[in-house]
Amino acid sequence: MTAAVMTDRPAAYAPAGNYKLSAAGLLRSEWTKLWSLRSTWIVLLCAVVFAAGLGALISGTVPSDMEELSGAGMAIDFSMSGVALSSIFIAVLGILVITGEYSTGSIRSTISAAPKRLGVLWAKAAVFGAVVAALFAVMVFATFFLSQALLEGTGMGGVSLSDDGVLRALLGYVAMIVYLALLAIALGAILRNSAGSIGFYIGVIMILPQLATLLPWEWVSDVTPYAPGDVPMTTTLVDTANGTLGLGESWLWMGIWLVVFYGLAAVLLKRRDV
């Protein structure tokens, strides 16, 4: 009789599914999260339109008789003049990728699914970094060719990718914006508050180093090139001799700041209650 072996209390439940938390899973999850918010589409669209539009607009309005405006370096400065503005959009979005989870409480779901926590930070950085890299690689080159077409006939026309330093400088712009995007995510993870993080980014990372150069002390202007928002500058120059840092130094300091910011973010993420 089967009834005889039945107990009044059944055996503990054993889940049937063979599911497992994985790094690939975390990446796919962050990908889903990023694109399932309307703000992502809007902000990325704004970033691309402003960067490309401003570059094209400025390039298109250069008078052909201004002899002093010439050379590949200046041509790229002109065509990429919208990238600085665009970087603010990207930084704000990067911050929101993580602070949005804290402000809405969805971080509790996220951390419950990935209780070791750090994987979430790496996945967010990897997904957002990759999206920004892909988008801005397209944007930077498209804007370059567009503005070159518009600059035809001026002193800044006729610049080609094979010219000395041009390709490297354009890739430098992509690197700079990816670096700032990654910095923004780490900053959001550290401060956990949208307004605070955006305020800190704009006030301390973007504006403070520029204001500080007005101070009368000499050491300040020696230090500001090493500020986290300023170190990528040299990578975007066609002639790196014009940079305050050397090219190698510029890359080195981007790496140092990322290690510092992510180190702090990781320690805090591990230690703080969610």
Partner 1 sequence: MNGLRTRRSLVDMIEIEHLTKRYGKKTAVDDLTFTVKPGVVTGFLGPNGAGKSTTMRAIVGLDAPTQGLARVNGKHYSEFRSPLTEVGALLEAKSVHAGRSAYKHLLALARTHGIPKTRVQEVIDLVGLHEVAGKRVGGFSLGMGQRLGIAVALLGDPAVLILDEPVNGLDPDGVKWIRLLLKGLAAEGRTVFLSSHLMSELAQTAEHLVVIGQGRLLADTTVEDFIAGDGKSRVRVVSPDAARLAEHLAGPGISIASPEKGVLEVSGTEAAVVGQAAAAHGLVLHELRTENGSLEDAFMQLTADAVEYRQTTEGANR
Q: Is the dihedral of CA 148, 152, 154, 157 positive or negative?
A: positive
241 sits near partner 1 (criterion: CB under 8 A): no
Pick the binder of partner 1 from 1, 3, 19, 219 (CB under 8 A).
Answer: 19
Which range, of 34-42, 66-74, 145-153, 223-231, touches partner 1 by CB under 8 A? 34-42
Stretch of 25-33, 73-81, 157-165, 219-227 contacting partner 1, by CB under 8 A = 25-33
Fill in the per-residue mask, 39 to 78: x = in contact with partner 1 (CB under 8 A), - = not in contact: x---------------------------------------
Q: Of 21, 207, 252, 259, which lies in the binding site for partner 1, with binding defined by CB under 8 A? A: 21
5 makes contact with partner 1 (CB under 8 A)? yes
Query: Cβ closer to partner 1: 32 or 213?
Result: 32
Judged by CB under 8 A, which of 61, 63, 116, 241 binds partner 1? 116
Check binding of 274 to partner 1 (CB under 8 A).
Answer: yes
Among 1, 3, 4, 36, binds partner 1 (CB under 8 A): 36
3-state secondary structure the chain: CHHHHCCCCCCCCCCCCCCCCCHHHHHHHHHHHHHCCHHHHHHHHHHHHHHHHHHHHHHHCCCCCCCCCCCHHHHHHHHCCCHHHHHHHHHHHHHHHHHHHHHHCHHHHHHHHCCCCHHHHHHHHHHHHHHHHHHHHHHHHHHHHHHHHHHCCCCCCCCCCCCCCHHHHHHHHHHHHHHHHHHHHHHHHHHCCHHHHHHHHHHHHHHHHHHHCCCCCHHHHHHHHHCCCCCCHHHHCCCHHHCCCCHHHHHHHHHHHHHHHHHHHHHHHHHCCC
15 touching partner 1, by CB under 8 A = yes
Cα 244 from Cα 240, distance rounded (Å): 9
- Binding segment for partner 1 (CB under 8 A), chosen from 70-78, 106-114, 168-176, 189-197, is 106-114
Could you tell me the smallest distance in angstroms from the CB atom of residue 73 to partner 1? 42
All residues at 6 or more sequence positions from 118 whose CB lies less than 8 Å from its CB, including other chains: 266, 269, 270
Tell whether residue 109 is a contact of partner 1 (CB under 8 A).
Answer: yes
The yes or no reply on residue 22 touching partner 1 (CB under 8 A) is: yes
How many residues of this chain interact with partner 1, rule: CB under 8 A?
A: 44
Residue 11 touches partner 1, criterion: CB under 8 A: yes
Q: By CB under 8 A, is residue 1 in contact with partner 1?
A: no
- Please answer whether residues 197 and 268 qualify as being in contact, where contact means their C-beta atoms are separated by less than 8 angstroms: no
Q: Is 10 in the site for partner 1 (CB under 8 A)?
A: yes
Chain positions contacting partner 1, by CB under 8 A: 5, 9-17, 19-22, 25-26, 28-30, 32-33, 36-39, 100-101, 104-117, 271, 273-274
